[in-house]
Amino acid sequence: MPLFQSFFTLNKNRIMALNAKIPEGPLKDKWQNYLAKTRIVNPANRKKLDVIVVGGGLSGGGAAASLAELGYNVKVFFFQDSARRSHSVAAQGGVNAAKNYKNDGDNVYRMFYDTIKGGDFRSREANVYRMAEVSANLIDHMVAQGVPFGREYGGYLSNRSFGGVLVSRTFYARGQTGQQLLLATYQAMMKQIKVGKLTQYNRHEILDIVIVDGKARGIIARNLDTGEIKRHAAHALVFGTGGFGKIFYLSTLAMNSNGSANWRAHKKGAYFANPSWTQIHPTALPQSGEHQSKLTLMSESLRNDGRIWVPKNKDEKRAPGDIPDEDRDYYLERRYPAFGNLVPRDVASRAAKERMDAGHGVGPLKNAVYLDFKTAIEKLGEDTIKERYGNLFTMYEKITAINAYKEPMKISPAAHFSMGGLWVDYELQTTIPGLFAVGEANFADHGANRLGANSLLQASVDGNFILPNTISNYLADDIRTGPVSTETPEFEEAEKEVKEQVTKLLAIKGTMPVDQIHRRLGKIMFKEVAMSRNEKGMIWAIEEIKKLRKEFWENAAVPGNENGPNSELEKAGRLADYLEIAELMTVDALDRKESCGAHFREDYQTADGEAMRDDENYMYSSAWEWQNEENWKLHKEPLEFTEVTPTVRSYK
């Protein structure tokens, strides 16, 4: 507790503003003004420049393929055996774009406003507008690459709705949209590998970045099959490394998803923005016991046709199909009649938690609510529902042995997405010159809550459309630099530090399995830094995290050695980072004395239980600078709105 108090007294007096480098002009013209004036690199000079991309998913893979297509020499690193297994593959429901195919009043401005409002007016206006503006190009791009989007009978691309909007702008490929977009991106990467402009390093994990003369000039990576640690140099680095939601242990993320690359960059000087803003997805399969290591996502698209309810009677014993409507509480339709079951994710998750905490949960552990398709099947027919969501129903039945066409699904909130991430400016460059972050790795577009189907959008447009146009402004200064050498004191020191960290982890020789410590961390975080938070609970959480971190370094069991595959060593390194990220997440949440989006403080709420913002004191993004263990320096980026007026977010 004394350390925590001293942190604020030492650093509150040194708060600084950040320069986001937002272009001049009206909001609708900013991106085109930027493109008209930014520096570009001559095609003949691009072949002299090397770029390292970390991450093979939609953002990283898209950036790698696009930069290679432009003529840069690109290396892409990812820890999976194939880029096709990047976590982008798990996204199900769709990708948003303002094309107004439904003629329902959609346009770029409406999409921009929905996104700003969905994030509770805590995102950068210029970046959000650009994402909406570029969205239409993305659909044409992906169709040209062969993505089999759903179509109407007449051949037009089909749309459906997602939470937080009143129009249909979500393009989808059944419940496999992420997979189909990733396959298209993978094919683009393979084309560039074939022509020799792109080199892939699968089964490699980045362990540090290298700073030379103040610029990001390379990485230290470990081959997960051989254990070899090697230096790699480039003129610029691009991180498409995803989010850190696996910090909760039980989450919808893949088991190997982690925040380590971003955290290593943070400790080298990249500011970490709004780390406490993590999304709890309202539609996942509920935890069934302590044996589980992850949770399964059920697409938000199901809320288009499914109705969410709980029994009014806490002691209800009847099967769900035997409970009549008058004994059901369709609580989202009751509380939010304008949006009903399609409220944003943070609102839906908190409402589910409120019902479960009040004793109305269903299932063996009373930790779920019902998602019911009876009404939709009666109106539209089972074949229509099967056409829209067939693979999701099949997946649900394989896991639960329940036919959701006949009986309601059981769903529950689960950790899912990181709105916070590395701070970036309008060019997607971090506070380390030469290090760029795209997709979920950065913080820029979603504010305090991400709208459904905007994740695939941000990842794809960052990698394919935005970064290729902004990175040239930086690389234009490097056309005379020549190849970047790895034989420098900076690379030598970075490699030495990485090897010392590996040795330190292997030397612990304790008895506590890494997964067991991670599970305990997840319970602390989900209890106090997830759907609802309060000052007392977060102060307790910080102390518990510190104790757990001490226990990890004294008693973690890390068997084996560094010479070859060692999954326990990999997990230990990632958990060591999570134990530091967790503290910063909690510090950030404790510092922001307001409720906004997914950051819901029980001590800052309205009389009817809704989030209560404090625009006078907290209209900024928090960007934290690493000082040393347990200490960070706060920088503020003021959020200015020229086209919208922040209002109390209401979906009623």
Per-residue burial over 362-385, b if 16 or more Cβ lie within 10 Å, else e, is bbeeebbbbbbbbebbeeeeeeeb
pLDDT confidence band for 260 (50 / 70 / 90): very high
Give the count of alpha carbons within 13 A of 106, CB side only.
25
My answer on whether 623 and 512 are in the same domain is yes
Contact by Cβ (8 Å): 381, 364? no
Give the per-residue pLDDT at 174.
87
| pLDDT value at 104 more than 60 | yes
Same domain for 377 and 495, yes or no, is no
Q: Does residue 438 sit within a domain?
A: no
- Residue 350 annotated in active site: no
Question: Does the pLDDT of residue 6 top 80, yes or no?
Answer: no
Same domain for 494 and 633, yes or no, is: yes
Nearest of 276, 323, 369, 352 to residue 618 by alpha carbon? 276
Assess whether 492 and 368 both reside in one domain.
no
pLDDT in tens, 512-563: 999 999 999 999 999 999 999 999 999 999 999 999 999 999 999 999 999 9
Q: What pTM was computed for the model?
A: 0.95
Q: Is position 595 within any domain?
A: yes
Counting DSSP H helices and E strands in the chain, the numbers are 19, 22
**Are 205 and 225 in contact, with CB atoms under 8 Å apart?**
no
Q: What is the CATH number of the domain that holds 594?
A: 1.20.58.100
- Asked whether residue 62 carries a pLDDT value surpassing 90, the answer given is yes
Query: Pick from 401, 416, 431: which residue ends a domain?
Result: 416
Q: Taking 80 as the threshold, does the pLDDT of residue 8 lie above it?
A: no
Q: Answer whether residue 597 is part of any domain.
A: yes
Mean pLDDT over each residue of the chain, to the nearest integer:
95
| pLDDT on residue 609 | 86
Residue 647 has pLDDT above 60, yes or no: yes
Confidence at residue 78, expressed as pLDDT on a 0 to 100 scale? 98
Kindly give, in sequence order, each residue whose CB lies less than 8 Å from that of residue 495, ignoring residues fewer than 6 positions away: 220, 229, 231
pLDDT in tens, 476-500: 999 999 999 999 999 999 999 999 9
Structural domain includes residue 24:
no
List the beta strands (DSSP E) in 29-174. 50-54, 73-77, 95-96, 170-171
Q: What sign for the dihedral angle of Cα 401, 403, 408, 412?
A: positive
Span 169-210, pLDDT tens digits: 999 998 899 999 999 999 999 999 999 999 999 999 999 999
pLDDT (average), residues 51-71: 98
Residue 295: inside a domain: yes
Same domain? 409 vs 497: no
| pLDDT the model gives residue 464 | 98
Residue 592 lies in a domain: yes
Count of domains observed in the chain? 2
Six token digits for residue 117: 């409002």
pLDDT at 5: 34
The residue from 373, 389, 416 where one domain ends is: 416
pLDDT at residue number 501: 98
289-327 pLDDT, tens digit each: 888 999 999 999 999 999 999 999 999 999 999 999 999
What pLDDT, on the 0 to 100 scale, is given for residue 7?
32
Res 17: pLDDT: 54
Is the backbone of residue 104 left (phi > 0), alpha (psi -120 to 50) or beta?
alpha
pLDDT level of residue 14 (50, 70, 90 thresholds): very low
566 within some domain: yes
Q: Residues 544, 404: one domain?
A: no
Looking at the fold, whether 518 and 631 belong to one and the same domain comes out as yes
Indicate whether 241 pLDDT > 70: yes
Residues 620 and 493 placed together within one structural domain of the fold: yes
Q: Which residues pair with 212 in a beta bridge?
A: 215
Does residue 503 surpass a pLDDT of 50? yes
Contact assessment for residue 652 and residue 335, using Cβ atoms and an 8 Å cutoff: yes
pLDDT for the residue 89: 94
Residue 291: exposed, middle, or buried by beta-carbon count in 10 A (0-12, 13-18, 19+)? Answer: exposed
CATH of the domain at 375: 3.90.700.10
Exposure class string for 599-608: b at 16+ Cβ within 10 A, else e: bbbeebbeee
DSSP assignment, residue 483? P
pLDDT digits (tens, 9 = 90+) for 281-291: 999 999 998 88
- 502 and 627 belong to one structural domain: yes
In the predicted structure, residue 425 carries a pLDDT above the cut 80: yes
Q: What is the pLDDT of residue 3?
A: 34
Which of 416, 436, 463 is at the close of a domain?
416
Q: Angle CA(52)–CA(54)–CA(55) in degrees, nearest 5? A: 140
**Pairing relation of β-strands 369-372 and 409-418?**
antiparallel
Domain that holds residue 379: 281-416
Please indicate, yes or no, if residue 353 is contained in any of the structural domains: yes
Residues 375, 502: one domain?
no
Averaged pLDDT, 139-151: 96
In this structure, the answer to whether residues 398 and 492 fall within a common structural domain is: no
Among the listed residues 345, 549, 592, 613, the single catalytic one is: 345
